[in-house]
Amino acid sequence: MIPAATSSPLVTITGLNHWFEEGEGRKQVLRDIHLQVHPGEIVILTGPSGSGKTTLLTMVGALRAAQEGSLQIFGQELRGAPRITLTQVRREVGFIFQAHNLMPYLTALQNVRLGLEVVPSWLERGRQAMDARCREGLEQVGLKERSHTWPAKLSGGQKQRVAIARALAAQPRLVLADEPTAALDKDSGRDVVQLFRRLADEHQAAIVMVTHDNKVLDIADRIVALEAGSLISR
C-alpha cells in the first residue's frame, strides 16, 4: 500500500448519508460516512447483514446516486454529476457481484471480453489483442481450458471465476467486490485474493471488498466495519 501522504485518494467520501423509502417514511441506511481509499490499497468492509455494506459499494461504483454528502471517485464528484461523468467513472471500475451475471449465450472467453468492450482504449487495440488478454485472465483464475465453454457447462465456482476474470481484464483503477469468494473453495478463494493483491501492488489499483470470509481478511491493508449504517472502525 502507498502511504496516504504520497498519493491522492481514488475514493474520498465525506459526510455521506443515504435513505431508502419504506412505506410512508424513510429508513436511513448510511450515516455520516467518512472514508478514503488510496491507490494500491485493499480495504475490506465487514459487518452484519443489513449494515449498509452493499449499498455503500454500489454508491462508490456510481450505480446508486448519493443523496447527501460528498462522494468523489478519481477526483470526480459523483453527487449530482451528469450521466456522462458517471459512465466515464464506471468504465474505470471493475465490478464483482455475488451473482456472476454471465451471459448464457456467450462462452467464457466472450463473457470476459465484455469487460474490455466497454473500454475505448481496448476497442482500439482490436479483437486479437482483446482475446489474448481474455485468455490470460482465464488462465489467472485457473480456467485456461474452459475458454470456449458455455456458462451452463460450468460449476457455480467456475462461473464466479469467469466473472472475476471479466472484472479484472482491463486492469481497472478501482475494483469493487461483493463477496467474491463466497462460491469458491478455499484454494480458489486464496488464488483470487492473491490476484487482487498483485493488481494492487503492481498496478496501484484500489480494491474495496465486502466479505464475511474470515479466511481472506489477512489480504487487507485495512478492515472497515459498518454497523447499522455507521462506520465503527477505520
Q: Which of 167, 164, 76, 163 is nearest to 115 (CA)?
A: 167
Identity (one letter) of the amino acid at 158? Q
pTM exceeds 0.85 for this model: yes
Instruction: Judge: domain 39-65+81-233, CATH 3.90.1150.10.
Output: no
User: Per-residue confidence at 1, pLDDT binned at 50, 70, 90?
Assistant: very low
pLDDT band for 234, please (50, 70, 90 cuts). low
List the chain domain ranges: 39-65+81-233
195-223 residue pLDDT tens:
899 899 999 999 999 998 888 889 999 99
